[in-house]
Amino acid sequence: MKRYAAFDPPEYVAWTADDSERERFDATVSRDPVRAAIIDSLGEAQLLDLYRGLVRTRLIDVALKRYVKQGVISKAWLGTGEEAATVGPVHALRRGPNADIVAPMIRNSGACNEMGMPAADVFRAYMGTGDGPSHGRDGHYGDFSRGILPPVSIVGDCAAVVTGIALAMQARKRDNVVLTWIGDGSTKAGVFHEGLNFAAVRRVPAIFIIQNNQVALGTRLAQHHLTPEPESFASWPKAYGVWGGVFDGNNVLDAYALTSLAAERCRRGEGPALLIAETFRMGGHATHDEQEARRTFDAGMFDAWGRRDPIPMYEQWLVGRGISRERLEELEREIELEVGKAEEEALASRAEKMPRGEDALAGVYHAGNES
């Protein structure tokens, strides 16, 4: 896809095809026969839809970064480089009517667009417009009518919330699943343990994805997590007595395949799954600390992960499957138009539909103020 020198990580701007990374990507796709069969069963429409999802998610980040530079918003929490760990799993769920439920965290904003929330609403939420998802009250966006629980900003708490939702689904004998992501750092919040353990013993249909991007704010993985590589988080499913496994968080096909297996198990009533996505945060915690993030790791980490940009890695694979570069460029242009139009709509809301002060308490529960 096109590169944006002002917004992309420098490693992405300089990205060129690398044989060893291509071999690693291909080997990941074929290493496990069960996952490989799922990937093989994907038709061209689904494969291209995954591509659209990756590009859409990246371009929304690019637009948000531009808004920060222009002073339209003050900062943005991005998932650049981690798109595959969101888009692959969401595409493995049921979307549209009778949708499954996702509970994204800050790196998983792509779950909103892939569950059908318009990109304009993401921008409106950031701008605090009155016609945005929370009517200008909160920057945590979601849309429960589309199966998107807005993020709970207290990290770890989503684990308890999704377990509760999954318990309700189980009690109602629904065949839906609930999926949430949790950062490597946030796995150290006690509520994650409580939520996951309760899900395990009650065998509820919940999928937890530990998104190990190697860092939590300015704290490197090794500073908060002592289980060394190659084990790292891989032993955690067994420790909790749940089914699970590790997927390559920069490989959208591997992410899709493992989550599909987890979702099938959940729907059959076989209990929750704990998946681990290995990936890397290519930016800062948010746009304000990108320089600090560069000092948190040595440049070699950025170089190594920069060669694994999930989008061109997947493009290469698609081209290997006989999809032309022209077709991919055409899809990219479609998504550019979609996101560009969303930006215009959101800026129009910002100009005309900011919330009115007198509406501040509308729709807000406030006990003891009946007058």
Ligand X SMILES: Cc1ncc(C[n+]2csc(CCOP(=O)(O)OP(=O)(O)O)c2C)c(N)n1
Length of the chain in terms of residues written: 371
Q: Is residue 184 a contact point for Mg ion (CB under 5 A)?
A: yes
Residue with Cβ nearer ligand X (107 or 308): 107
Shorter beta-carbon distance to ligand X: residue 179 or 342? 179
Question: Minimum distance between the CB of residue 209 and ligand X, rounded to whole angstroms?
Answer: 11
* Nearest of 209, 231, 223, 208 to residue 162 by alpha carbon: 208
Q: Which of 183, 237, 310, 312 binds Mg ion (CB under 5 A)?
A: 183
Q: Which is nearer to ligand X, 15 or 77 (CB)?
A: 77
Question: Hey, which residues does 219 pair with through a beta bridge?
Answer: 216
Point out which span in 17-25, 85-93, 182-190, 242-250 binds ligand X (CB under 6 A).
182-190
Tokens 């991005």 — which residue? 78
**With CB cut-offs between 5 and 8 Å by kind, which of Mg ion, ligand X, none does residue 217 bind?**
ligand X
Give residue number: closest CB to Mg ion: 183
Among 117, 125, 165, 215, binds ligand X (CB under 6 A): 215
Number of residues in contact with ligand X, rule: CB under 6 A?
Answer: 16
323: alpha, beta or left? (left if phi > 0; alpha if psi -120 to 50): beta
47 binds ligand X (CB under 6 A): no
Residue 107 lies near ligand X (rule: CB under 6 A)? yes
Q: At closest approach, how far in Å is the CB of 267 from Mg ion?
A: 29
Q: What minimum distance in Å lies between the beta carbon of 52 and ligand X?
A: 24
To ligand X, the closest distance from the beta carbon of 105 in angstroms equals 6
Name the one range near Mg ion by CB under 5 A: 152-160, 213-221, 292-300, 305-313: 213-221
- Give, in order, the Cα–Cα distances in Å from 79 to each of 131, 157, 201, 319: 25, 20, 32, 25
- Give the separation between CA 83 and CA 32, rounded to whole angstroms: 22
Residue 285 binding target from Mg ion, ligand X, none, CB below 5 to 8 Å by type = ligand X
Whether residue 118 contacts residue 286, with contact meaning beta carbons closer than 8 Å, is answered with no
Q: Is 173 exposed, middle or buried (0-12, 13-18, 19+ CB in 10 A)?
A: exposed
Residue 213: helix, strand or coil by DSSP? coil
Compare residues 86 and 213 and give the one whose CB is closer to Mg ion: 213
Q: Taking CB under 5 A as the rule, does residue 213 contact Mg ion?
A: yes
| DSSP assignment of 322-370 | T--HHHHHHHHHHHHHHHHHHHHHHHHHHHH-PPPGGGTTTT---TT--
Minimum CB separation of residue 180 from Mg ion in Å reads 14
How many CB atoms are closer than 10 A to CB 194?
Answer: 14
CB of 358 to ligand X, least distance (A): 31
**b/e sequence 330-347, b meaning 16+ C-beta within 10 Å:** ebbeebbebbeebbebbb
State the Cα–Cα distance between residues 78 and 107, nearest whole angstrom. 6
Q: Does 153 bind ligand X (CB under 6 A)?
A: yes
The correct pick among 64, 120, 155, 273 for binding ligand X (CB under 6 A) is 155
The reply to whether 186 sits near ligand X by the rule CB under 6 A is yes
Residue 216 contacts Mg ion per CB under 5 A: yes
The listed partner (ligand X, Mg ion, none) that binds 155, CB under 5 to 8 Å by sort, is ligand X
Output the six-digit token pair for 365.
Answer: 């529960």
Return residues touching Mg ion (CB under 5 A): 183-185, 213, 216
Applying CB under 6 A, the residues found at the interface with ligand X are 106-107, 153-155, 183-186, 189, 213, 215-217, 281, 285
